[in-house]
Structure 1
């Protein structure tokens, strides 16, 4: 029986250490960006001395900040979940099918939850829509 059949991770201890460092650094960067983003948004909302053109630009900037914050928050959530999987011994295992993600994928995208096959299936499901 091979690793793909048993759901055993092909990652070595050094790989796990590297992933832990990268994930921790990524989580720290994302937390910092989210905090800076909130500071910027708060400052924009507090600025009352704006003319009509400034108000429009402020609204666009706030929407962009909000969008960026949502993206960063989602990535932070996946990063923290990956750290939890690492601590729990299931890092590098697809959360959908239970098979190994593959060493290269786990190291290249340590926050990834799915193997390539499941990620492609999920992308197809999202793009299929009601008729497909």
Structure 2
């Protein structure tokens, strides 16, 4: 029965650990996450998600207008056509960037809920609380991020 008690108490404890701010990954020497710090990170990520969603909607509206206004280009000279194309491509790039940032933000929120926030997705080591506070969407520790950037 002592073994059964250990097994049954281990499961709830594992679930609770994922939800406890002090259990989120930190580097050696860093203070554990406090509930206020976790709430601040969550609020910042949620605010960023709302901002990005709004930016994407605005961008899509602009793109729809650009596509509608482009028509067949009758009466436009080459400079007008080129300007319209550049504007449309720029707006498409902004929208794509905003979508990618939104995905990263949503992934960070999921990791926060799962208790894996602050762990490097490449090596599994803690990313570092200071880095997470400066860049809440970070998924790689500094070392892995530097290796990734050197490959490109």
Tell me which interval the TM-score lies in, with the shorter structure as reference length.
Answer: 0.7 to 0.9
Whichever of the two has the greater Rg, that structure is 2
How far, CA to CA, are the matches of 2:44 and 2:24 in structure 1? 22
Return 5+ residue gaps in structure 1 as ranges. 1-6, 127-132
Say whether 1:74 aligns with 2:100.
Answer: yes
Q: Which residue of 2 aligns with 1:125?
A: 151
Query: 1:38-49, aligned counterparts within 5 Å?
Result: 38-47=60-69, 48=71
Question: Is 1:13 aligned to residue 35 of structure 2?
Answer: yes
- How many matched pairs? 120
Cα RMSD (Å): 1.7
The equivalent position to 2:133 in structure 1, one of 85, 91, 107, is 107
Structure having greater relative contact order (Cα 8 Å, sep ≥ 6)? 1
1:27 deviates by 0.7
In structure 2, the residue corresponding to 1:112 is in which secondary structure? coil
Instruction: Give TM-score scaled by structure 2 length.
Output: 0.73
Partner SS, residue 21 of structure 1: helix
User: Is 1:22 aligned with 2:40?
Assistant: no
Secondary structure at the aligned position of 1:70 is classed as: helix
Could you tell me the TM-score, scaled by structure 1's length?
A: 0.84
Distance (whole Å) between structure 2 residues aligned to residue 93 and residue 15 of structure 1: 16
Aligned to 2:82, what secondary structure does the other structure show?
Answer: helix
2:121 matched to 1:95? Answer: yes
**Kept after mapping to 2: 8 A contact 1:85/1:91:** yes
By how many angstroms is 1:54 displaced? 2.7
Instruction: Give the corresponding residue for 1:34.
Output: 56
Equivalent residues of 2:45, 2:109 under 8 A apart: yes
Distance 1:73 1:67 in 2: 10
Q: Deviations over 1:77-98 (max 9, x none)?
A: 1111000000101111111111
